[in-house]
Chains A and B, each alone.
Chain A
Amino acid sequence: MPDPEKEFAEEWRDAAYNCFSSGHKFCREVCPVMQVTRNESWSPTAFHANVVAMEKGELEVADVAADYVNCTGCGACELRCPNSLFTGDFYRFRTRTVDLVKAVRGLAVEQGLHQPGWQRWNLLTDERRHEPVLGATPVEQARVRDWADGLDLPIGGESILFVDCEAAFHRTSVPRSVARILNLAGYPFGLMNEQWCCGGPAAEMGYEEQARRFARHNLDDWRAAGVRRVLVLDPHDYITFTEDYPKYFGDAYDIEIVLVVELLAELIREGRLTPHVPVERAVTYHDPCRLNKRKGVWREPREILRAIPGLTFHDVDRVTQWSYCSGGGGGLPVEKPELTAKISEQRVGKAAELGVDTLVSACPWSERPLSEAGAARSIDVVDLHELLAESLGVAP
């Protein structure tokens, strides 16, 4: 076995045996990929069992690298795993399937084993400094702030708003809504001098060196402008800034990270924002995986929805939604768009059963696949920030 593989197997050995010797598969039915494929090689259990086989010298990463594409990084498996949910905090040792999947992908890339879609995606991201998303605005560094045209936002300041690639170049009404709402509340913020992609997607697809380079650039840009606080509207960026950046920079990481959804709920609670324009829609809320499962954030979006007059809100609780996903994460739509589409169709099907006309999400990356699936069933997919802006009378 090549050395890096040996090191990898040693590092993940305990975690792998922990799962392999339990093998109870509580993770199985909450996994969106398992739900739509029933492929046992693409399950959290298999992802751990492979490491046991690697450690025994029965398997090399080349044999299984392609299997590890089949994960959205939703975090359902690791939260539902009893080794996290019932004993993780007690032992300070929990199941980390998402990290394991990232580590195998990284090991594969290190050994020159590339998935063609991911290789191209990351090459283009490296060239353009932003993910090559398809949208109204061409992806170029010079146009990363085009979404803010006419809003007259300053550059720099103590707090800056970070806008993910999908929202900056495609779903521009989301950051516009956020900016208008913050202006309405009198919350001061600026934009980055030279924002690059957060680097999170590269890390998820195994291109860690690139991810670290992008992270370094962004942190240096914040430091140079005296930024103390980064406001984040995208759950994926939120994970990157609160899990990857701390890993890269350790004690030197002194930037406060604020999730916009939580900030907006606070501003409503304090009476600094009062939604008053009725929005006549029958809605349900899609818990973005990275907020609900991976961060435990589910109350605030519901608080915001309940503050909007006119809405009929058919809520589905957060635990039921541990098994829901849009399929939009973890690079899956880049490499396996057909699986993303199936997962999204299944999610929209759940909304359709409630008889609603609108599915509200709070994650720009989920909204493209969900919108495509929603169109087939006449269900609108609307972003929570946009809905709030409408009810505050500040349409984007």
Chain B
Amino acid sequence: MKYRYQEEMSPPPARRATDVAITRFEHVYEVEPGLMTEHVTQQTFPNWDTLRLVRSRADHLAWMHRHFADKVISGEELLHDLDE
């Protein structure tokens, strides 16, 4: 990861995904920035930070599955267990 300021501060162009979401990196969605101007304003986000979070999230979910998800159960079974 070579760090260059200009590159980090230039995110790939946004494509519209839905009315309220855009996408810049493959499979990564962001809220429509227009919705983040009133109550909470967005922070400076270099590209490396977006990608760090996305990758860390995937690593964390895989870790959770490795540690805790040793069987798959259906919603129906869950409801059945709750009824009992």
Contact = CB atoms under 8 A, between A and B. Distances in A.
B53 A88 contact: yes
B60 A92 contact: no
Nearest to B3: A257
Size category of the binding interface on chain A = 20 to 34
Nearest to A86: B57
Nearest to B60: A319
Contacts of B40: 14, 18, 91, 93
Given A259-B1, A296-B55, A93 B36 contact: yes
B58 to A, nearest CB: 10
A320 B62 CA distance: 12
Interface in B22-58: 28-31, 33, 36, 39-43, 45-46, 48-57
A89 B2 contact: no
A93 B43 contact: yes
Nearest to A92: B42
A187 interface: no
A89 B46 CA distance: 10
A262 B1 contact: yes
B74 interface: no
Contact of A253 (B2, B5, B63): B5
A234 B2 CA distance: 15
Interface of A: 14, 18, 79, 84-86, 88-94, 96, 241-242, 246, 251, 253-254, 256-259, 262, 295-297, 317-320
Interface of B: 1-6, 8, 28-31, 33, 36, 39-43, 45-46, 48-57, 59-60, 63
